[in-house]
Chains A and B, each alone.
Chain A
Amino acid sequence: MTTTTDKHTITALVEDQPGVLNRISSMFRRRGYNISSLAVGQSETDGLSRMTFVVEGDPETVEMVAKNLHKLVEVIKVVNISSGNTVSRELALVRVNADVTTRSEIMQIVDIFRAKIVDVSQGTLIVEVTGDENKVDSLVDLLRTFGVHEVMRTGTIAMSRGVSYEEDTPG
């Protein structure tokens, strides 16, 4: 795991209903919690979505975030996976300047990061990278020296390793 000490990852299984995201973001805003990233998608069960939050704060704050998420009627399960052994991934697309003189250098960097070039046009490239937040940060930083036009990131998703199913945080 490469999350820094003040960033924590929480996942939540939620009912896939209109307004759920609104309820959750309203809770975060009202209580003054900072989300540094949020990713939502379908879960393994029909009608349920899974959300991954990367939250900034001390462990006590993060525990309060988990408790307040849990309090929402449409939130079924909340897991704080910051401390555990987890896999966390994020996808990013980066549009970067590339002319004949820099293209091969960029391609080398892309290779080292096991990233991909997914689009080439006159003067720019789009790089696709997957990895944990730090890896994406480092690649984006390196590419900045060539001139970055646009960065798009999905936000982190995370899953704990090994264990077959997540344990709910004790209420």
Chain B
Amino acid sequence: MNMRGAQIVCKSLLREGCDVVFGIPGGAILPLYQTLPEFPDLRHILVRHEQGAAHAADGYARVTGKPGVAFATSGPGATNLVTGIAAAQMDSVPMVIVTGQVGRPSIGTDAFQETDITGITLPITKHNFLVMEAKDIARVIKEAFFIANSGRPGPVLVDIPRDVFMEEVDYEEPLELDLPGYKPTISGNNRQIKKASALIQSAKRPVILAGHGVIISRAYDELKELAERAQIPVITTLLGISCFPEDHVLWTGWPGMHGMAYSSLALDEADLIVALGMRFDDRITGNAEKFSSKSKKIHVDIDPSEIGKIIPVDVPIVGDVKDVLVKLNELVEPSTHSDWLKRIETLKKDHPSLRLPETDKLLARQVIRDISEITEGNATIVTGVGQHQMWAAQHYEFKNPCSLLTSGGSGTMGYEVPAAMGAQVASPDGTVWSIAGDGGFQMTLCELATIVENKLPVKFAILNNGFLGMVRQWQEIFFESSYVSTGYSGNPDFVKLAEAYGIKGIRVTDKTQVKTAIQDAMEHDGPVLIDFIVEQEENVYPMIPSGMTVKDMIEEPSSERVTV
């Protein structure tokens, strides 16, 4: 059957199970766009900025577990994606991005809107392709989806010159995948798993440190089984949050720079860390040399290059977390660790970490607690980056797996608006709350138009402190409160702004209005934006300054009066 390259792209996307694409057209990719009407099952969501397309695809991918798909044109369209691609790469999010490129004869001539996007994205994609012949498109897209969502997931970019979209070739279903250099190890080595089981058996003070890999591999039940069977407390990483229910007795918070003090202390006292699908990020380890120095480490990860990268490991296991846990659970004998669990209880009691001061002031933390209470921990929470992100991670009580979407590895402000949009597209009936910073929100707020256009009922909570709050906090603590370029005196009226987009806007300036506003937002059938005018100079605690250790932790400001 004769088909044009553009038709093959659409057909291949559908074959891979793609049902929605986020993007913006332009000259080089126009032949693809003009083909879309022939493929009504491929829903295209027209975003307002390509960064939004990338983050939306990311949000969609995290929620569905399927690769998110984005389109952009050559040159500026493609470069606008870069921030979103880098964020997805850092957090192992599967995406397939199709970019238009200038026509083949023009490549290398600095033609209008020519950018070497495969060159630019080389270090921030899992893999990328420049497709120089239409006959290769079907195979490349099949490979792109496979690479994006197998092994350790990540973004894959497919760059297609304009004339390749228009080239007509005889379409053939792609054959079996032939990627001799790409064979992820899924199945964990039995001998290693036996060693791990023996270590777990002999440990007195074991902890599980569960990362994003548990969510990616959807290994929630297996994690719970291991934890309960061997009575091991579960600490998660920031991206691992929600992989283990927070109302479970074994749940022991998340550690690190702004994590709970008791989590960091538990890691420090442990004699065994069972690290599952995580990568010992510096936000967790602080000074890696002094990190949890009394413990042995079992490290399970699907990416061999993560093992031994930061921390020497006693039992490395390469494989999919779920596969490894299933096998491990067969070997591990039930145990109790009652002394250790008592110790953890004491740590939790002595270092509660998340107490709120008694005050009539409107605290961002209070807002998160109220959202948590009113949504009963069942919402999907999407955050930006900064203080509000840390508070959301700390104070929202996540009940459902995979319900926190946050740019952990790359820390990309502006993630909160488009990623929430993607999450809502992925889960049309789910409750999606975007916990936004007044700074980050302004980086991508143009997507409010997309949200309205597509009738997406995202609820926005702007925690408006009038500052680039997290940076201001560093300035306060490390630079004697010299607030250089972190105060916003010209923020727009966010309520009017929402209304300009046709979104219901609510302003909250007083503690007593918080719950009503959240309830109103929940009851409103459509998107809502609440502008919470919160205390400006609150800090996130606990805090372990970068590169330091648990001993350097600032648990909470000593002067505050606190209640639990």
A interface residue numbers (CB < 8 A to B): 14-15, 19, 22-23, 26-27, 30, 60, 63-64, 67-68, 70-77, 171
Contacts and interface: CB of A to CB of B under 8 A. Distances in A.
A171 B118 contact: no
A118 B431 CA distance: 78
Interface in B149-196: 179-182, 185
Contacts, number: 40
B342 interface: no
B305 A74 contact: no
Nearest to B151: A71
A84 to B, nearest CB: 21
16 contacts: A15-B181, A19-B118, A22-B122, A23-B122, A64-B308, A64-B309, A71-B303, A72-B181, A73-B126, A73-B181, A74-B181, A75-B181, A76-B180, A76-B181, A77-B181, A171-B318
Nearest to A29: B123
Contacts of B371: none
Most buried by A among B126, B182, B308: B182
Contact of B305 (A26, A30, A60, A64): A64
A73 B127 contact: yes
A64 B180 CA distance: 21
B304 interface: yes
B119 interface: yes
Contact of A68 (B127, B180, B305): B305
Nearest to B143: A73
Contacts of B180: 15, 76
Nearest to B180: A76
Q: Which 9 A-B pairs have the closest CB atoms?
A: A67-B305, A76-B181, A171-B304, A73-B182, A73-B127, A76-B180, A67-B304, A75-B181, A68-B305
B147 interface: yes
A77 B318 CA distance: 17
A124 B335 CA distance: 80
A60 B308 contact: yes
Contacts of A71: 303-305
- Give the size range of B's interface with the partner: 10 to 19
A23 B122 CA distance: 7
Majority DSSP secondary structure for residues of A touching B: helix
B140 to A, nearest CB: 12
Contacts of A76: 180-181
A30 B305 CA distance: 14
B119 to A, nearest CB: 7
Contacts of B126: 73
Contacts of A77: 181
Most buried by B among A22, A68, A73: A73
Given A73-B179, A76-B181, A26 B122 contact: yes
A119 B200 CA distance: 69
A60 to B, nearest CB: 7
Given A73-B127, A75-B181, A76-B180, 4 more contacts: A64-B308, A67-B305, A70-B304, A71-B304
Nearest to B118: A19
Interface in B441-460: none
A27 B318 CA distance: 21
Nearest to B132: A18
Contacts of B119: 22
Interface in B81-130: 118-119, 122-123, 126-127, 130
Contacts of B185: 171
Most buried by A among B179, B305, B318: B305
B160 to A, nearest CB: 15
Given A64-B305, A71-B303, A26 B123 contact: yes
Most buried by B among A15, A26, A67, A76: A67
B496 to A, nearest CB: 45
B86 to A, nearest CB: 12
Contacts of B127: 73
A48 to B, nearest CB: 9
A26 B305 CA distance: 16
A74 B127 CA distance: 9
A58 B288 CA distance: 18
B133 to A, nearest CB: 13
Most buried by A among B147, B303, B304: B304
Contacts of A60: 308
Contacts of A63: 308
Most buried by A among B119, B180, B308: B180
Nearest to A65: B305
A60 B308 CA distance: 8
Contacts of B122: 22-23, 26
A123 to B, nearest CB: 43
Nearest to B124: A30
A67 B119 CA distance: 22
A76 B179 CA distance: 9
Nearest to A20: B181
A75 B305 CA distance: 14
Contacts of A73: 126-127, 147, 179, 181-182
B123 A30 contact: yes
Most buried by A among B118, B122, B147, B185: B122
Contacts of A74: 181
Contacts of B181: 14-15, 72-77
A30 B182 CA distance: 21
Contacts of A23: 122
Most buried by A among B127, B147, B180, B181: B181
Nearest to A12: B181
A76 B126 CA distance: 16
B186 to A, nearest CB: 11
Contacts of A68: 305
Most buried by A among B119, B123, B303: B123
B421 to A, nearest CB: 31
B289 to A, nearest CB: 14
A65 to B, nearest CB: 10
